[in-house]
Structure 1
Amino acid sequence: MEPPSQPLQALASTSACLLGGSVPEHSPAQLVPVILSCARECAAWELACVSISLVAKIVRVLESGKLAAGHVRFWEELLRLLGEEHLLLRLVEQFQSSDPLLSHLAAKTAACWVVRVIRRGEGVPPTWYRTCEQTFLSCSVGPELDSCLWSLTEVCKKFLTGAPSDVLEKLLAELHRSISALCSALLPDRTASHLPHRGTTLCLLLDLLEVLMASSLQCGGKAGPGTQNLGWAQWPGLLGVVGFPLEPFVKRRTLLLLKRALLHKAGGRLSTPPDSEFGHAAQSVLAAVDAGWLDSIQVESDTFFGGRRFSWGGREERGDEVMLRALSLVLLRSLEVSVHTDGPGEMGGASKPHRYLQHLWGFLRRWVPPQIQVKHLCCYINVLFGEQDDDLMEAARAFLSVFLSYRGCLDLDASQMLEAACSLGCNPHCHFVLLLQSFSFDHSLLLDFLICSETCFLEYLVRYLRHLRKDWKGLAAACGALEELQQPVGGCTGGALCAGSGFCVQAAPTGPEPSTSGSGPSSTLRLVEYYSSDESAEEKEEESSALTSEDSSQSCGQQAPAGPVDQHLLDRTVRCLSELRGVVFRLHSRKLFPYNPSSLLKLLADVEAAGDGTVCRTGTVCRTGT
């Protein structure tokens, strides 16, 4: 039978029939030469794009299982004939196309085809495998390398879940040598003066490395040592990318990848990597810091897409906040892992936390605008992470872990220990009070975080409350120290920055700020209305009135007589925890809480008992807490 005389019309009608769940009027034997001729490099651009996209659509629709059995046979026959005519070879040839859209469509369709072939038990197609291997070994930067990186990443993603681990293991084992050679060529070392690639190529390599890190969780101990560590072994090179003079978006993406990996979120998977790989990554970060890595990093913000640019302290000349947060978390998490994995004699006593935290504070002083004067190092946690809840909780948890390890290395009494912790910016009591103060001591916001699964707040709160039971005086001392740093409300001109960072940060006057009416904590949009249905309206109104009254005293923008922002931090901290315990208990008793909070309720009750009767109006401890 003769092929259709109008290729574009035939391809369009075939695509419409596929999406409509029917079959076209032309037979598979008639359509095959049309698709193959249009997929050639010399074909017209429109025909090439349509024919290549059609093949990808056919594969996806067949995988979805939504077609009738009689229609499935037609499309399966079409793909079988295309395979016999070496369609994959035509797709791989298009990897070299100078047209970026055409080469990307070819990589996308080739990835779909390879996944289909592997799932049918036919192994990795040698045409695609050899092309990727040769391209990686040659390290020749261009469209072909980008297409090979993208297609391999997409194939690996498909087998991260829902497939036997040996499928991904065998694929990575075959390409291990070539990927290692590519990483060595593209990632900078200490002696590199320039990199022979575009930012796009490096970003594609970052995507592949993230999948490789996630694949180590999938393969587990079945993969060979080299294959399993393929992604994690590239950390020194990734750290070099951050300190190399590259485009800002490349450095930002690299830092975000490092952060996700250290927070167990590489590849979108919330899992824990093997201890050996995780420890190696953390040690790589700390070794880089010792070698002066922080001094080589430039974090100026060059990315701007129009609109109103938000600025710290009213000025646009500032460091990239996303990079500062990510870099701080990478260092904090690495330090946390290091102090837990090192043996007692290897940790270096208190010198390790002291050394690396001082490096971090020195770095931040260079990039936080001079208009923002941090008067207490513990306040950096709010300055950096106040606008990113998940990062804020991760940072608080890391600081707490570092403090507990640091405390065990020093022979100091309680007051000396807290003073030393504040000098390093890792006093957990300061961090907790600052966290509550940023919420205006609103217990319902803490409840939001307890219910939300997107942060580690529950883990952090439980660990902190366990520490608080044994160190009640430390909380009282931290509240007293923070109260001494309070600023008069009338002199507060820092706008949103001041509201987020509290009384530990001073911002220079920046002129009139946009009105923040209606955006304070009292008007915060809640995820759930937590009041039970049988509570009286009067009780709701009383609590709402009390919260509104308390929140109004925290707003920097409101006019008020000069005086302390908050006179009784310890009182309000204890009351907030008590209110949290009450609402969690009520929800749990009515079986409305999403999990069993019995252990949390016991901790909150213990803390409330420790503080019951110990707090005077002045905010000092009247008797020793148990």
Structure 2
Amino acid sequence: MKISLLQQMYKDVLAGIPLAKESHHYTSFLNLCIEQSPERDESCNRMHLSSVNSGISSHQNPGISDAVVPIADDASNNFANTNSSLCPREVMLLQLTLIKMMVAKVQSQETEFSTRQKYCDIFVLLVKETQIDSKLICLLSSSDQLLSHMASKSLASLVYFQLKEENTLNVTWLTFSLKILSEFPTNTQVAECLWTLTAIIRDTLKDKDLPKAGVLKKLLAPLDAVLEGFYNSILCHHFDSLHYTSPYSEAANNLISFIDLLEALLVSRVELELPLRCQRVLFLKVSYVLNVISSSVHYLFKKLFIMLLKKCVLYKSREDSVSGSPFLQKPYLYEDMLALSNGVLQGVNLTWLNQIPLSEKASYFGGSEPHPEDNTHGGVDQTLLRALSLVVLKALEFKFLNSTTEAEVKGEFQSSMSQLLTFWRGHLTSSSCSHPVVHNCEWLSLIFIEQDDDMWEAAKALLLIYLKSDRLRHDAVDGISLEEAETWNFFTHANGYNPHCVFLFFLKNIAFDSTVLLDFLISSETCFLEYLVRYLKLLREDWHHFVNICNHFDTKHDIFQAISSDKSPHQGKQNCMTDVSLQNTCCEPGPQVLSLASSRNYLAFTTEQGDNEVAESNQSNSLLCTDSTFLPGSLQSLVNYDSSEDSESESVGEECLANTEQMPLSYEAKIREAVSSCRDDKQNTLKSEVLPLKQKGSNTSSVLASAVSSDNIIPLRVMLYKSTACLEELQIAISRLQRRNLFPYNPSALLKLLSHVEKISKNMNPQ
């Protein structure tokens, strides 16, 4: 065989030129020339490449076979200008590249039917006459990493081709996979097998025209039992071994490959009506993963597993939105999420979080080490801190929402939240916090403020827990006494999940900028719409509690000393607190208190605060992060909330987020322009009833300051006015965009809720 003919075939396939000669002619070009040692035929661990061109020079440097020669599509011109022969390794790399390219051409709709048929005939001959699949399997164990990688990609393409075009599973590959996986840990070379299986699953999921359910079941069903056994084997290793302290060892390579496979299996389960055991094992046996995370494995493995757990806890909402079916109609998913939640919470209550060291190294472009001249020191790994926190909060949400009595989970919730709050305090004490945290409800904003999609998932989880527990509390007794109400309020603040407090701290952190809220609403990257709808419904029913909390932001007394009264009668009751430190944290004073002791102090506060808000407002868009866990689709409609009661069986997300799409950039630009014009004249648009002290042409802070007399100091409702003004500005902006047909979905129900809150605010604050 002449190398020039193989190079010409490469150019023809790359350009899409039909192959004129018969299929056998081209099959001989792609036949891998591998000679196996007789004593190692089974494992193919020893092999050498036979000469594929008699014209190869005898003085060819033998060391060239160890060089990495990348084969890429843009290298065809180099082949055309090459007169010398290639070494056997380079020829084989070219053959493997051709196999991968031809499979891709077969899958492409742009390839002519006759050309696709020709390629299919060549593949059939390759499998039947040259046993190309067996040769590719032998190459998987090659010490040449490039050859092994290219063989894995080519084998995956070939198996996928047979599944799609012939509706058959390659028996040779299946036998090899079953043997390798079942022999672990005796046979440790499993990474290549895992790569191939992962690539086949991903290729199947990417194909829009393929009946994925049938193909995945045909692929995974024969491997189901052995994959579960492999899960047990690889995760029950002694990870204190030196093999796992470096990400470059063979054991580390196996573990990373398995994590990739678990992620592919997680994504694939949405396609099957009844997932296989191998797709559920991560949920059902999550304790194995928790043990690995808390072991002495390399930090990379901890991070990969934690990010995988984050995808698992966010998987429920993703699957519901994709399939459109109610969660309760999927008993297998209910069982899986319950097992995952129980496992995570059990680990948390056993101080699992305290066993996870978060790296203090900052990430730098091109590496993880700082430049020698760089004096900056990175804090904790914020990405991992948020992921761990979200895993715990979503586990608590699922456990709480699937409980029938408050007592059933109250103790576990209190214990888990105590562990989480301690975890937050321990890792953010030395970070760049601008002030000491004196109230537990502020932690949510501090932890998640830089990642909006995670923040609203966490806020929604705590809101749903609050709504469910409040409902169970009212169902348990006919009437709630004042003392019980005070105990309940104190408990929600002590555990950092009072919804009004959480929302107000967030508004404070964004300088009450309504455009930030609008950005979240028009973005398809967060669940903010679902959160806001649920919170506004709560606000409508619980306005007095909201006002009470706003007043405590403004009071001259210790901030949140007690939400129900200045002196809580329950501070001495240990059943309201998880530990002494939590009680002290919730009750100690801090620098956030608005001091109204003198007019001079108050004027200084308002002036400085106004300057800070302008600076924060100019940077509000920087809060919007691009990393997302799920892109829901185009919002079509909202439920009519006036005709529906607040109940946990109501699924706002399904109604609102079922068909959301990402808007074109040009459309978002129009929205930004309209919002900008809205912001310019919003001072003239807001009604005076919302801000009784506001005057035309005056800024809120200066008016409030001028209204204060040095002889008559009153606790002005600064927080109440600012928060309600922010919501009203949001309402005005949405209405204006709706009139211009620029809002991406029908916001009528959302506007109705905002309008209702506005009316309550005006009735409470008449002129």
Equivalents in 2 of 1:187, 1:550: separation in Å?
61
Aligned to 1:148: 193
Tell me which residue corresponds to 1:79.
123
**Deviation for aligned residue 1:590:** 3.6
Work out the CA distance in 2 between the residues paired with 1:603 and 1:95: 61
The residue correspondences of 1:159-558 to structure 2 (distance < 5 A) are: 159-160=204-205, 162-188=210-236, 193-194=240-241, 198-221=251-274, 223=275, 226-227=277-278, 229-264=280-315, 271=322, 274-302=333-361, 304-306=363-365, 316=377, 318-344=379-405, 347-348=408-409, 350-370=410-430, 372=433, 373-408=436-471, 413-483=484-554, 520-522=616-618, 524=620, 527-530=668-671, 541-543=680-682
- In the alignment, is the contact (CA less than 8 A) between 2:362 and 2:378 conserved in 1? no
Partners of 1:213 and 1:267 within 8 A in 2: no
User: Who is 2:18 aligned against?
Assistant: 23
Residue in structure 2 matched with residue 498 of structure 1 by the alignment: none
Q: Distance in 1 between matches of 2:556 and 2:5?
A: 76
| Contact persistence 2:182–2:226 (CA under 8 A) | yes
Task: Tell me how far 1:374 sits from its aligned partner.
Answer: 1.7
The aligned counterpart of 1:579 is 729
Superposition deviation, residue 26 in structure 1: 6.1
Match of 1:35 in 2: 30
Instruction: Verify the 8 A CA contact 1:96 1:143 in the aligned structure 2.
Output: no
**Identity of matched residues, %:** 27
CA drift of 1:104 comes to 1.6
1:104 paired to 2:149: yes
Residues 212 and 231 of structure 1 are in contact (CA less than 8 Å); yes or no, is this contact kept in structure 2?
A: no
Which residue identity is paired with 1:57?
Answer: M
Note the C-alpha offset of 1:159. Answer: 3.2
| Secondary structure of the corresponding residue to residue 159 of structure 1 | helix
Higher mean alpha-carbon deviation, 135-144 vs 64-73, is at 135-144
Cα distance change, pair 551–303 in 1 and its aligned pair in 2 (3 A) = farther
| 8 Å Cα contact 2:213-2:272 kept in structure 1 | yes
Q: C-alpha distance in 2, partners of 1:458/1:478?
A: 23
Give the 3-state SS of the residue equivalent to 1:136 in structure 2. helix
**Which amino acid in 2 is paired with 1:406?**
S
Amino acid at match of 2:746: N
- Compute the displacement of 1:325 (Å): 0.4
Stretch moving more, 31-40 or 580-589: 31-40
Cα pair 2:361 2:379 within 8 Å, conserved: no
SS at match of 1:42: strand
- CA deviations on 1:431-450 (whole Å, 9 max, x unpaired) are 11122222222222211111
Shift, 1:326, TM fit: 0.5
1:562 alignment counterpart: none
Q: Which amino acid aligns with 1:101?
A: L
Residues 383 and 230 of structure 1: is their aligned pair in 2 closer, same or farther, counting only changes over 3 Å?
A: same
1:117-174 Cα shifts (integer Å, max 9, x gaps): 0112342111111111111111248884111111111212233464241321232221
Is this contact kept in 1: 2:437–2:443, CA < 8 A? yes
| Shift in CA distance, 545/92, structure 1 to aligned 2, threshold 3 Å | farther
Distance 1:172 1:578 in 2: 54
What is the CA–CA distance in structure 1 between the aligned matches of 2:193 and 2:676, rounded to whole Å? 65
Paired letter, 2:730: L
1:497 maps to none
Deviations 1:267-320 (A, max 9, x none): 99965672111111111111112233123211124463358979xxx9736321
Secondary structure of the residue that 2:751 maps to in structure 1? helix
Separation in 2, partners of 1:340, 1:87: 54
Q: Tell me how far apart the structure 2 counterparts of residues 131 and 142 of structure 1 sit (CA, whole Å).
A: 12
Supply the AA of the counterpart residue of 1:42: H
Task: Give the aligned partner of residue 5 of structure 1.
Answer: 2
Aligned partners of 2:731 and 2:754 also within 8 Å? yes
Q: Is 1:609 equivalent to 2:759 in the alignment?
A: yes
- TM-score normalised per structure 2: 0.67
How many residue pairs end up in the alignment? Answer: 567
1:569-609 Cα offsets, whole Å, 9 max, x none, are: 21011011112112222322343322222221111111111
Is residue 569 of structure 1 aligned with residue 719 of structure 2? yes
**TM-superposition CA deviations, 1:182-222 (whole Å, max 9, x none):** 11111148x8654776333222211211222333322123x
Instruction: Check 1:267–1:475 CA distance in 2 against 1; reply closer, same or farther (3 A cut).
Output: closer
- Aligned partner of 1:119 in structure 2 is 164
Q: In the TM superposition, what whole-angstrom CA distance separates every residue of 1:46-67 from its partner, at most 9, and x where no partner exists?
A: 2222211110100001110222
Whole-Å Cα distance in 2 between the matches of residues 520 and 546 of structure 1?
23
> Which amino acid counterpart does residue 136 of structure 1 have in structure 2?
L
Q: CA deviation at 1:23?
A: 3.4
Secondary structure of 1:220's partner? coil
* Aligned positions of 1:48-67 closer than 5 A: 48-67=92-111
Change (3 A) 1:63 1:299: same
Name the aligned partner's letter for residue 252 of structure 1: K
Query: Structure 2 vs 1, CA of residues 263 and 141 (structure 1 numbering), >3 Å: closer, same or farther?
Result: farther
- Cα RMSD after superposing both structures: 3.7
**Which of 112, 124, 148 is the matching residue for 1:68?**
112
CA–CA distance in structure 2, aligned partners of residues 299 and 216 of structure 1: 31
Contact 1:522-1:551 within 8 A present in 2 as well: no
In structure 2, how many angstroms separate the alpha carbons of the residues matched to 1:362 and 1:602?
40
Runs of 5+ in structure 2 lacking a partner? 36-46, 50-87, 245-249, 474-479, 559-589, 594-611, 625-667, 687-696, 703-715
Q: 1:306 to 1:183 in 2, by over 3 A?
A: same
TM-score calculated relative to the size of structure 1:
0.81
Q: Is the 8 A contact 2:287 2:343 kept in 1?
A: yes
CA deviations 1:378-427 (Å, max 9, x no partner) are 11112110100100101110111122233346555555433321111111
Could you list the per-position Cα deviations for residues 456-507 of structure 1 after superposition, in whole angstroms to 9, with x for gaps in the alignment? 00010011111111111222222233345999xxxxxxxxxxxxxx9769xx
Distance 1:551 1:117 in 2: 70
Shift of 1:30: 3.1
Question: Secondary structure of 1:608's match?
Answer: helix
Q: CA deviation at 1:39?
A: 6.7
Cα distance in 2 between the residues matched to 1:203 and 1:571: 53
Question: Given that residues 235 and 284 in structure 1 are in contact (C-alpha distance below 8 angstroms), is that contact kept between their aligned partners in structure 2?
Answer: yes
Contact 2:224 2:278 in 1 (8 A): yes
User: Residue 176 of structure 1: SS of its match in structure 2?
Assistant: helix
Pick closer, same or farther for the CA change 1:322–1:227 going to 2, 3 Å: closer
CA–CA distance in 1 between the matches of 2:683 and 2:99? 60
Higher alpha-carbon Rg = 2
Output the CA distance in 1 between the equivalents of 2:191 and 2:304: 17
Distance of aligned partners of 1:400 and 1:39 in 2 relative to their CA distance in 1, 3 Å threshold: farther
Inter-partner Cα distance in structure 2 for 1:485 and 1:70: 83
Hey, what's the Cα distance between the residues in 1 that align with 2:679 and 2:317? Answer: 43
CA distance in 2, matches of 1:215, 1:333: 22
